[in-house]
Chains A and B, each alone.
Chain A
Amino acid sequence: MIQFDNISFRYAHDIEVFRDLRLGIEAGEQILIVGPSGAGKSTFLKLLNGIVRPDSGDVMVGGLSTRKHPTSRLAAEVSVTFQNPAHQIFASTVLQEAEFAPKSLQRKNPRERAQEALRLFKLNEQAKSHPYDLSLAHRKLLTLASAVAADTPALAFDEPSVNLSRPEQLILLEAFEVLKKSGKTILIVSHDLELFLPICTRVLILDDGKATFFDAPEALVRNQNPLRHSGVRLPLVHRLRPYCGLSPIPHPGA
């Protein structure tokens, strides 16, 4: 579904971000991407839809090469949502905002897709409100709903849980369960391991240009060196559970 073939990339002021990165992500997987800030997590997302082109190697998304195809075409394969809702909310009603992606990708009946996505994130009552009449947490959910409305096979989110309080986290987890069942490939860049470890199929650690770990979350608990080396600590809760006779990572819906 998504293939990175020995990608090397460096920004203008010569900090090397990636060096011969090579990995594959199957359709229907949920990948949690962690690593120290500045390790290129956001750049990784920008490589997915050609906003950033690699210096060498190629990224294939849904069989399309990001070198040959424009971002507008790749946006139909993978919908990338960035961290700050204020950088994308433009419309004067919640529904118009959610309708934007399906409309610009020429999907059939975009309004229904938008309403469906808003229902998934419990925003359907506020469909006619102005996005800035909602709380910041609900505006964040709106950006997630706008991406889901585009109905792309793959979805990539940069820090989807930031600004969300507990009720919105539960809505997010519920929505991701539904997306998982409908076979979507989901990539999540986040530092909130406590929230996403239970629901991801594999964890990718990006640390100074390389993928130092790419395996199931249980394997992460057994071998915590790559995590510790990347400066990210396993949440206190997961480290304590074994002492109380519990599995390190609770199964979803715990």
Chain B
Amino acid sequence: MRFDVGEKLSLTLFLLLLSIVLPWHLNGVLFLLLVLFRYAFRPFRPVSDASRRRSSALASYLTIVVLLMTIVNGLLIKEGTLWPLPGGFTMSSEGVTFGLRTGMRLLVIAMSLLLFFGSTPIPRLAQFLQSVGWPVQMVMTLLLTLHFIDTVPDRVSLIFTAQEARGAPVRANILARTKAFFLILSPLLLSGIVESIDRSMALELRGFHGGAKLSFRGDETSRGRMTMVSMLFLILSILCIVWIILRWLLQ
């Protein structure tokens, strides 16, 4: 079963909406299912070890936060049945379920996004978006963003070093550090503007007017066709939206 970008995208949309519909214990089951998906199901395995490290770090971080949220809400909120605790505190059932409901939902959201972005490099996503009709300039912007995401952080640290060497107050009091913030953002913006001007000239000099489509390495999977699977997930997503609106109205 080959999952192409379109199917994975519609599945992720459905999972995000499903997490709002389900009560907390079903969300918990769904979360475990997704974790299993990640390891067992080939198309969802993380592409690079960077995304693998990032997703496992995030999963463990979120699990701790859910526990914390449940306890804090339990202690602070006073509605529902209150179980006395030593030291005069009360743990309210209403608070605990409230914490769990939010926590489990956040876990499912995080996991479904990680599954999608972890296993789909942005260029494949851009390729799919172009095949379903995104304007070529928008696709080019998304791809260029990847380039800037790689280069802007290095430029920030280079500027930070150059300004500190000239006496910029990067470690002084808060007011001075705010001034230093401007001293770093201003060269970054000016060099960004100049680079944008040069890049727009370079693109035009090689015939790019947003007319012809961009070609990608190995144009295989996503033809932008609406497969049965993605159609199914889109219908399910619409059902979820209808359910959410109904529940909100009847509340």
Contact between chains at B167 and A88 (CB < 8 Å): no
Asked if A49 is at the interface of the complex by the 8 Å CB criterion, the answer is yes
A46 interfacial contact with B, CB 8 Å: yes
Cross-interface CB contact of A82 among B162, B167, B182, B190, cutoff 8 Å: B162
A-B contact pairs, 10 of them (CB 8 A): A46-B161, A71-B164, A72-B167, A81-B166, A88-B159, A88-B162, A89-B187, A100-B167, A104-B166, A146-B166
B1 at the A/B interface (Cβ < 8 Å)?
A: no
Number of B interface residues in the complex (CB < 8 A): 21
- A117 CB to nearest B CB, Å: 13
Q: Which of B164, B166, B191, B194 contacts A147 (CB 8 A)?
A: B166
Q: Given A86-B190, A88-B187, A132-B190, does the pair A71, B182 have CB atoms closer than 8 Å?
A: no
Residues of the A chain whose Cβ atoms lie less than 8 Å from the Cβ of B171:
70, 72
Taking CB atoms, residues of chain A closer than 8 Å to B172 are 72
Contact A84 B158 (CB under 8 A): yes
Which residues on the B side are within 8 Å of A146 (C-beta)? 166
B165 x A80 contact (CB < 8 A):
yes
Do the beta carbons of B159 and A51 come within 8 Å of each other?
no
A133-151 near B? 1/0 per residue, CB < 8 Å = 0000000000000110010
Chain A positions within 8 Å of B166 at CB level: 75, 79-81, 88, 100-101, 104, 146-147, 150
Shortest B177–chain A CB gap in Å is: 12
Which of B169, B186, B190, B191 is A104 in contact with, Cβ under 8 Å? B169
User: CA separation between A129 and B68, bound complex, in Å?
Assistant: 57
Total residue contacts A-B, CB cutoff 8 A = 71
Interface residues, chain B, CB within 8 Å of chain A? Answer: 155, 158-159, 161-169, 171-172, 182-183, 186-187, 190-191, 194
Contacts of A86 in B (CB 8 A): 187, 190-191, 194
A51 / chain B contacts, CB cutoff of 8 Å:
161, 164-165
A147 to B166, CA, bound (A): 8
- Nearest CB of A to B250, in Å: 57
- 1/0 per residue A81-111: CB within 8 Å of B? 1101011111100000000110011000000
CB of A125, distance to nearest CB on chain B (Å): 22
What is the chain A residue whose CB lies nearest that of B156?
A87
Contacts of B191 in A (CB 8 A): 86-87
The 4 closest A-B pairs by CB, nearest first: A90-B186, A104-B167, A86-B191, A80-B165
Are A132 and B158 within 8 A (Cβ)? no
Q: Which residues of B contact A132 (CB under 8 A)?
A: 190, 194
Task: Give the Cβ gap from B187 to chain A, nearest Cβ, in Å.
Answer: 5
Instruction: Flag if A49 contacts B190 (CB, 8 Å).
Output: no
Q: Within the complex, which residue of A70, A76, A82, A91 is in contact with B161, where a contact is CB–CB below 8 Å?
A: A82
Cβ-neighbour of A90 out of B165, B167, B187 (below 8 A): B187
Docked Cα-Cα span, A79 to B155, in Å, equals: 21
* Closest A residue, CB atoms, query B161: A51
* Residue picked from B159, B167, B172, B186, most chain A C-beta under 10 Å: B167
* Additional 8 contacts, C-beta under 8 A, given A87-B159, A150-B166: A70-B171, A71-B164, A82-B162, A82-B165, A86-B187, A88-B159, A88-B187, A89-B187
Which single member of A79, A88, A105 contacts B163 (CB below 8 Å)?
A88
Contact A71–B165 (Cβ < 8 Å): yes
Mask, A52-92, CB within 8 Å of B = 1, is 00000000000000000011100110011110101111110
- Hey, which chain A residues are within 8 Å of B169, CB to CB? 72, 104
| A89 nearest CB across to chain B (Å) | 6
Expressed in whole angstroms, the minimum distance between the Cβ of A111 and any Cβ of chain B is: 16
Q: How far is the CA of A138 from the CA of B194 in the complex (A)?
A: 16
Q: Nearest CB to that of A45 among chain B residues?
A: B165
CA distance A90 to B187 in the complex (A): 5
- Complex Cα–Cα for A51 and B164 (A): 8
Give the nearest-CB partner of B180 in chain A.
A104
List of B residues within 8 angstroms of A100 by Cβ: 166-167
Instruction: State how many angstroms separate the Cβ of A152 from the closest Cβ of chain B.
Output: 10
Residues in B whose Cβ lies below 8 Å from that of A90? 163, 182-183, 186-187, 190
